[in-house]
Amino acid sequence: QLPTGLYKKVLVILHDSVLPYMNEPTLMIDFLTVAYGIGGAISLLALNGLFILIHQHNLEYPDFYKKLYSLLDPSIYHVKYRARFFHLVDLFLSSSHLPAYLVAAFIKRLSRLALTAPPESLLMVIPFICNLFRRHPACKVLVHRPNGPEDMSEDPYIMEEEEPSESRALESSLWEIRSLQDHYHPDVAKAAAVLNQSLSEIEDDISGLLELSAYELFDKEVKKKVIDVPMEFEQVRGLFGKKNDIFAEHFTLD
């Protein structure tokens, strides 16, 4: 057992400062699988090392996607390792051989969690979901189901189910993204409205959105040029805006 802080320090540098220089990187399999099973930020950080072992050293991890699915909780939109996590999730879900039920479960869980996510995360995850639809056209039934559920109470999707195949995601629809089309931030509402149209075949480049911060969004809004709109109005006279009421006889507005 290692302290949590030490786990984080090791896992942050393991994939680029340790594994490439080891004669037998597979010796780290046990350490990384244990770290991946701890949960929280430690599991997110262990993904980098596991990715290298899976793709370069033929590591077989039978319940890998089940565990990856379980890592999707509300904190993923807030942790400082968000960019690294979504970059790796994007890689793991890039294969066209993944079953539709698995990808649909990821889409539904990300969409459900997006209901409470901050705008900077939404501007990243909505194009991310659109890219999943482009790679896996069988999941588009979630968008084009006309008689699908309209809220959480009618949704057949089981959020608490740990097994993606039992979550009934393919029976649902993306009412969550439709809800985001009424988001208070105009950029989020515009991004969510893309699913109302047919998606292009070219994937969106989300690399520049992974590191998007609330400060950048605020700075962008502040720098927008405000157009002065001329308005015609009647000047207020009297306490309650009426010219000849009894209050206007005794009170004036300076």
Q: Which pLDDT score is estimated for 207?
A: 82
Q: Which pLDDT score is estimated for 241?
A: 62
Looking at the domain assignment, is residue 110 inside a domain? Answer: yes
Per residue in 50-86, is it b (16+ CB within 10 Å) or e — as a string? Answer: bbbbeeeeebebeebbebbbebbeeebbeeebbbbbb
- CB-CB contact of 79 with 85 (8 Å): yes
Q: Which pLDDT score is estimated for 201?
A: 81
Looking at the domain assignment, is residue 41 inside a domain? Answer: no
Looking at the domain assignment, is residue 16 inside a domain? Answer: no
Looking at the domain assignment, is residue 49 inside a domain? Answer: no
The boundaries of the domain holding residue 205 are: 98-231
Looking at the domain assignment, is residue 169 inside a domain? Answer: yes
Number of domains observed in the structure of the chain: 1
Looking at the domain assignment, is residue 76 inside a domain? Answer: no
Q: CA nearest 167: which of 95, 126, 93, 108?
A: 108
Segment-wise mean pLDDT, segments of 10 residues, the chain, 254 residues: 83 84 86 83 83 80 83 86 86 84 93 92 92 90 75 82 89 89 91 86 82 85 76 65 68 66
Looking at the domain assignment, is residue 254 inside a domain? Answer: no
* pTM, full prediction: 0.76
- CB-CB contact of 44 with 12 (8 Å): no
Looking at the domain assignment, is residue 39 inside a domain? Answer: no
Q: Which pLDDT score is estimated for 144?
A: 77
d(CA 250, CA 238): 9
